[in-house]
Each structure stands twice: as structure tokens, then as C-alpha cells.
């Protein structure tokens, strides 16, 4: 036992030397997913992690170039717009003259393929500085009515889609740029109301390799403190409408793209390297990504210079592991609840929740898949499960009311639901008075 503890401590310390900000995750993974690994084996994986310096305004490994937005000062806006206006006015006469010359010589293709390029680049430059991307509320309402995905393209344009799009799966504080120029924390409300800064939006959009992308931070309207009571109620109703559309949004998407700060610092290696980094990721410790991964057709994990299919990683682990003593076995236990069993896979892994069970069980997957996953909003401990269970949330419900609806809808699974609540320290019973029980502790990282 002492040797095992010493080895886990050494592995945890090794992980933290490469990334000091993940003490909790390093300790947990060293004691579980990497409990049968040697320090040397873990070191080989951690060496693939690209180091990045920390700066003020960012406590994330991706650095401020990815998750921080510093708006341009107002006194700089006039000269910047002047450069754009003067540049455009100088380019137009030259482009017009060149067009006449090319037209006279019968060279039509360069007129629309090459001549507009300088103007487009100048426009793109100015847009990166000033433009914000925000979904129009009327389109949010329309997407809810159609139970469809309100997607955005690279130019910041929106369209309601039922196919031909991808879903961004992420941890907001790693990707949304909501931090101050000199410290960690949300940016001012007035800045958030404008949407996502275009220059920042492109940084995560381009990593998803999609023409159309569904982004929860854009499709889900935010409730602000300075709203009137009526505005808050209307916005909450819209948020509920989006949540009740999530099952169709996730299942119809071509793929769910996972952007995690550790994975995006991992240089291409093998599938095992990616599996280890995934176990260490913040993405796998948040509750909503479980829902996104569980309902997706495909889950694509983006690394620094490549991408990996989660199903392919799980299939590889299944084909490699031959018994429960294999060192990869704890890794696959962490990953298999996220996805369907690989086609043709006959290996069965039992569950202490239902020792007699010989077939896959959704509630067992929920319990094991949501283990060590957390959220910042209390009711999300129930609400995040509703898309997976094909249930509809009602605005105004408490956590206990949502859990009771799950219990009523799945009476044969109440035993596992109670274990789920017990693990998450939720004070919940199946009695009619459950709405009056104390609120749970909210765990955070």
C-alpha cells in the first residue's frame, strides 16, 4: 500500500511540474486512471505537453492569446477607421483601372478572384478589431420553435440548421475570453452584452474545421443583473427553450468538437497520450460535456497539431486490454460511459450498481460518466441530464423538482438516481416533500 501511495504521489508531482494549475486533477488521476502506471511511463506522455508561459489575465494553459479579450481604446478607433477609409479609397481607383485593363485583354477571372483581395484583407483586418458576434434574439426564438440549431459561420453570420453543422464542446472559462486585461474574472457586463469579440471568435471557430458551428455561449441568451423582471423572465424562458432543443441539436450534428486547453497543448503522439490528457482535462470534469458527448454522432478531440476520434480511442483500448489488470483498464473505465459500446465489441464490464446486469444501462452510464464532473449552477445537476433522458425542463423548477421528474419518468431506475444524488451530496428523497429539502453542496474545482 505504501509503495502504491508513493508511486501515485510521484506521478501527481510529475504532472504538476508540467502544469501546476491542475493539482486536484493530477492527484485524482494519479490515484485512479494512472494508478497502475510507472513514473517513467507518465513522463513519456507529459513530455508531449507544450509549455506556455502564464501572463496576467489568464490562469489557463492556453494563455491570454486564446482566452482574454482586451477591447481597443476609444481614442484609437478614429485613426484605425481612418486607415481603413483611406486604404479603401486608394485601392478603388487602382482596382478599377486594373479591371478595365484586364477586361480589354479578355482576362476575366482575375477581376473577381484577385483584384478584390486587398480590399477584403483590409476589411477583415478592421473587423477583427471592432466587430462582435452575437445571435439576434428573433433567430433564437425561431430556432426554439423549430427545435433546431442556431449556427454561426466564420463571417459571424447566423443560420438555423438541422444538418451540416458541428457543435463546440468546451469549458467557457477556457475559450470565451471572459477575463480582464490584468486579472482573472468576467469582463464587464456592457462588454459581454455585445457578444463575443470577432478576433477571439475566429480563434476557436477555426480550430473546429466546420463551415457552420453551434456555440452554446451564442445560442443561449444570458441573463444580466440590470435587466427588468420581465426581461429576466423572458430570457429564462428562452434559455429553457434552447435546453429543451439540445437533444435534437446534439444528435443531428455531424460531430461534437472538444476544445480543451490541455489537449490543445498536446503534440501528436498516440491515442494513449490523448486518452491520458483527456483524463487530466477540465473538459472531462465538467457536467455538460458528458451530455454533449453521449448524444453526439462523433466526438472529435482537437490536439495542438491534429485531431482524434473518441470512438477510435475507445475501440483501440478495447482491442488492447485483455484483462482487468492491464494498465489501460482504469482509463477505459473513465471513457466508455461517454459513448456507445463499439460495434462488435463483446467485452462486458460489470457495474457494482447492478451486479446482475448483463446489458448496457443508461443510468449506470450517467452515474459513472458523471462521476467527478461538476457544474457552477445548482439545477444543472438535474437539468444537464434532461437531453440524455429525452425529458423537457420547465422554467422555475428547482433541483429537487427536476430530480423528482426524472424519478417519476424512470421509476425502475430510482435506486441509481438516489446513488447519483448521494455521490453528489444532494439531499433528495422520493417523497412528495422533496422540494422542501435543503439545497446540495456545490462542488467546484
**Does residue 377 sit in the same domain as residue 257?**
no
DSSP code of residue 442: P
Which three three-digit cell numbers place residue 127?
A: 473587423
pLDDT score of 98: 73
Q: What are the average pLDDT values for consecutive 10-residue runs of the chain, which has 445 residues?
A: 78 91 89 95 94 63 55 58 65 74 75 69 60 92 97 95 97 74 65 82 91 96 92 96 98 97 88 96 95 97 95 93 90 92 57 59 92 92 97 97 96 94 90 41 30
**Does residue 323 sit in the same domain as residue 377?**
no
The answer to whether 135 and 150 are in contact (CB under 8 A) is yes
**Does residue 80 sit in the same domain as residue 216?**
no
Q: For residue 405, is it within any domain?
A: yes
**Does residue 44 sit in the same domain as residue 103?**
no
* Prediction pTM value: 0.83
In terms of Cα–Cα distance, which of 297, 213, 221 is closest to 254? Answer: 297
Q: For residue 59, is it within any domain?
A: no
**Does residue 163 sit in the same domain as residue 259?**
yes
Q: For residue 349, is it within any domain?
A: no
**Does residue 109 sit in the same domain as residue 36?**
no
Q: Which of 110, 130, 150 is the last residue of a domain?
A: 130
Output the furthest CA–CA distance in the chain (Å, rounded): 86
**Does residue 321 sit in the same domain as residue 177?**
yes
The answer to whether 165 and 214 are in contact (CB under 8 A) is yes
Measured between alpha carbons, how far is 191 from 134 in angstroms, rounded to an integer? 12
Collapse the DSSP code of 213 into the 3-class scheme (helix H, G, I; strand E, B; otherwise coil) and give the result: strand
In the sheet where 299-302 sits, what is the strand order?
A: 158-161, 149-152, 213-214, 166-170, 255-259, 299-302, 307-309
pLDDT score of 200: 82
DSSP code of residue 300: E
Pairing of strands 196-197, 132-133: antiparallel
**Does residue 214 sit in the same domain as residue 321?**
yes
Angle of helix 117-130 relative to helix 74-104, nearest 10 degrees, comes to 160
Q: What is the number of helices (H) and of strands (E) in the chain?
A: 23, 9
Which three three-digit cell numbers place residue 49?
A: 505537453
Helices (H), 229-328: 229-243, 246-252, 271-280, 287-295, 310-320
Q: Which of 329, 344, 359 is the last residue of a domain?
A: 344
Cα radius of gyration (the chain): 25
Measured between alpha carbons, how far is 280 from 46 in angstroms, rounded to an integer? 11
Residues 6+ apart with CB under 8 A from 145: none
**Does residue 121 sit in the same domain as residue 162?**
no
Tally of domains in the chain: 4
Measured between alpha carbons, how far is 45 from 210 in angstroms, rounded to an integer? 29
SS3 percent helix, strand, coil of the chain, rounded to 5, is: 55, 10, 40
Q: For residue 357, is it within any domain?
A: no
Parent domain of 422 = 369-436
**Does residue 384 sit in the same domain as residue 283?**
no
Collapse the DSSP code of 14 into the 3-class scheme (helix H, G, I; strand E, B; otherwise coil) and give the result: helix
Residues 6+ apart with CB under 8 A from 178: 67, 69, 172, 186, 187, 192
**Does residue 278 sit in the same domain as residue 411?**
no
HSE-CB at 16 with a 13 A cutoff on CA atoms is 17
Residue 127 sits at φ, ψ, to 5 deg, of -65, -35
Q: For residue 444, is it within any domain?
A: no
pLDDT score of 259: 95
Q: Which of 66, 96, 130 is the last residue of a domain?
A: 130
**Does residue 144 sit in the same domain as residue 200?**
yes
Q: For residue 190, is it within any domain?
A: yes
Number of other residues whose CB lies within 10 A of the CB of residue 408: 11
Q: For residue 317, is it within any domain?
A: yes
pLDDT score of 433: 39
Q: For residue 55, is it within any domain?
A: no
Amino acid at each position: 500500500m505504501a509503495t502504491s501511495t508513493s508511486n501515485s504521489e510521484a506521478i501527481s508531482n510529475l504532472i504538476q511540474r508540467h502544469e501546476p494549475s491542475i493539482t486536484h486533477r493530477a492527484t485524482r488521476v494519479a490515484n485512479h486512471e494512472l494508478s497502475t502506471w510507472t513514473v517513467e511511463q507518465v513522463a513519456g506522455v507529459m513530455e508531449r505537453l507544450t509549455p506556455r508561459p502564464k501572463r496576467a489575465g489568464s490562469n489557463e494553459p492556453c494563455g491570454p492569446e486564446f482566452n482574454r479579450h482586451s477591447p481597443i481604446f476609444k481614442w484609437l478607433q478614429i485613426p484605425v477607421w481612418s486607415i481603413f477609409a483611406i486604404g479603401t479609397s486608394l485601392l478603388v481607383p487602382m482596382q478599377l483601372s486594373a479591371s478595365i485593363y484586364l477586361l480589354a485583354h479578355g482576362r476575366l477571372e482575375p477581376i473577381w478572384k484577385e483584384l478584390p483581395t486587398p480590399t477584403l484583407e483590409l476589411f477583415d483586418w478592421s473587423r477583427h478589431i471592432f466587430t462582435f458576434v452575437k445571435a439576434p434574439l428573433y433567430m433564437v426564438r425561431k430556432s426554439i420553435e423549430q427545435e433546431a440549431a442556431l449556427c454561426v459561420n466564420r463571417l459571424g453570420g447566423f443560420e438555423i440548421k438541422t444538418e451540416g453543422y458541428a457543435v463546440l464542446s468546451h469549458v467557457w472559462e477556457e475559450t470565451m475570453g471572459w477575463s480582464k486585461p490584468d486579472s482573472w474574472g468576467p469582463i464587464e457586463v456592457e462588454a459581454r452584452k455585445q457578444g463575443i469579440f470577432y478576433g477571439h471568435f475566429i480563434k476557436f471557430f477555426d480550430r473546429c474545421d466546420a463551415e457552420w458551428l453551434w456555440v452554446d455561449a451564442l445560442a443561449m441568451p444570458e441573463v444580466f443583473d440590470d435587466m427588468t423582471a420581465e426581461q429576466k423572465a423572458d430570457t429564462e424562458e428562452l434559455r429553457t427553450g434552447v435546453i429543451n432543443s439540445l437533444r435534437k441539436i446534439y444528435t443531428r450534428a455531424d460531430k461534437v468538437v472538444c476544445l480543451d486547453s490541455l489537449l490543445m497543448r498536446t503534440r501528436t503522439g498516440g491515442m494513449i497520450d490523448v486518452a491520458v490528457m483527456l483524463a487530466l482535462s477540465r473538459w472531462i470534469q465538467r457536467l455538460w460535456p458528458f451530455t454533449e458527448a453521449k448524444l453526439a454522432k462523433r466526438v472529435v478531440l482537437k490536439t495542438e497539431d491534429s485531431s482524434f476520434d473518441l470512438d477510435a480511442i475507445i475501440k483501440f483500448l478495447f482491442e488492447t486490454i485483455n484483462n482487468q489488470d492491464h494498465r489501460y483498464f482504469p482509463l477505459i473505465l473513465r471513457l466508455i460511459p461517454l459513448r456507445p459500446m463499439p460495434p462488435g465489441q463483446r467485452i462486458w464490464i460489470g457495474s457494482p450498481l447492478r451486479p446482475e446486469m448483463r446489458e448496457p444501462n443508461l443510468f449506470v452510464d450517467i452515474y459513472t460518466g458523471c462521476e467527478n464532473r461538476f457544474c457552477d449552477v445548482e439545477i444543472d445537476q438535474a437539468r444537464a441530464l434532461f437531453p440524455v433522458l429525452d425529458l423537457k425542463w420547465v422554467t422555475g423548477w428547482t433541483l429537487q423538482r427536476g430530480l423528482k421528474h426524472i424519478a417519476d419518468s424512470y421509476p425502475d431506475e430510482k435506486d441509481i438516481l438516489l446513488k447519483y444524488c448521494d455521490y453528489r451530496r444532494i439531499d433528495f428523497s422520493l417523497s412528495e416533500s422533496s422540494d422542501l429539502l435543503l439545497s446540495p453542496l456545490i462542488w467546484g474545482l
